[in-house]
């Protein structure tokens, strides 16, 4: 079946089938827009996290690193936003009188958890739409198919000698709705599973960094207040040892 014959079937379909096809086409376009946009967002999050971890674990001065991230012209993302929130709160609480080291670390951890929650919410944005398109499109297409087949058989009621040749065009145009439903659903399901896994992996990286960074802040919080102006991150092996 060539493209012209498929287009003919679509144009000759009933208005219900045409509406179903239009709905599925819009769902497919929306899902592909989300797929392309989400691919860029997750790739940026991974690259920014990779670059930040390389800088952080190289033994960079934490205050200098925080100032550099704070001064970025773009919005902070991924792991750098978690560091910015945690170290910013750590510096603020450390400058207040009467705040214990435990309270300083707990405050920094709360700030990092809030930042992480916001970041995960940003990364997961529109994934639910992909899941919805992937799970409902086949059923919407099936509805169009059932409606088209029903109309095709109803049209045979007034014919004394019905044949398959008479009903075949109606069935063919109805099956286009099922094909369109699968066309919209399959990429959405594949993309949703792939991106959900990537978000889970990033969240796991964020959790690990928060634990390691909290250990570093816990050591700094016990130093005399006048001596801890610019702490330095250690290598990853040293921090875990």
Three-state DSSP string of the chain = CCHHHHHHHHHHCCHHHHHHHHHHHHHHHHHHHHHHHHHHHHHHHHHHHHHHHHHHCCCCEHHHHHHHHHCCCCCCCHHHHHHHHHHHHHHHHHCCCCCCHHHHHHHHHHHHHHHHHHHHHHHHCCHHHHHHHHHHHHHHHHHHHHHHHHHHHHCCCCCCCCCHHHHHHHHHHHHHHHHHHHHHHHHHHHHHHHHHHHHHHHHHHHHHHHHHHHHHHHHHHCCCCCCCCCCECCCHHHHHC
pLDDT at residue 170, rounded to an integer:
64
pLDDT at residue 226, rounded to an integer:
54
Query: Where in the chain are the domains?
Result: 16-136+188-240
- For residues 55-70, give the mean pLDDT: 86
pTM: 0.79
Picking from 56-60, 67-71, 237-241, which range would have the lowest pLDDT averaged per residue? 237-241
């Amino acid at each position: 079946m060539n493209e012209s014959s498929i287009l003919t079937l679509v144009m000759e379909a009933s208005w219900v089938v045409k509406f179903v096809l239009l709905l599925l086409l819009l769902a497919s376009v929306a899902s592909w827009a989300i797929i392309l946009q989400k691919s860029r967002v997750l790739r940026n999050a991974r690259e920014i996290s990779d670059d930040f971890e390389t800088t952080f674990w190289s033994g960079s001065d934490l205050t200098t690193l925080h100032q550099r991230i704070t001064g970025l012209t773009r919005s902070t993302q991924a792991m750098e936003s978690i560091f910015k929130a945690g170290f910013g709160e750590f510096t603020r609480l450390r400058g207040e009188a009467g705040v214990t080291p435990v309270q300083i670390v707990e405050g920094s951890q709360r700030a990092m958890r809030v930042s992480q929650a916001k970041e995960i919410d940003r990364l997961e944005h529109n994934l639910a739409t992909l899941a919805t398109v992937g799970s409902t499109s086949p059923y919407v297409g099936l509805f169009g198919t059932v409606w088209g087949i029903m109309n095709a058989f109803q049209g045979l009621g007034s014919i004394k000698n019905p044949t398959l040749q008479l009903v075949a065009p109606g069935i063919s145009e109805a099956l286009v709705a099922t094909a369109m439903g699968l066309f919209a659903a399959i990429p959405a399901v594949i993309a949703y599973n792939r991106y959900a896994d990537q978000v889970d992996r990033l969240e796991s990286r964020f959790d690990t960094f928060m634990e390691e960074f909290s250990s570093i802040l816990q050591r700094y919080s016990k130093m005399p207040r006048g001596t801890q102006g610019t702490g330095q991150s250690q290598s990853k092996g040293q921090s875990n040892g």
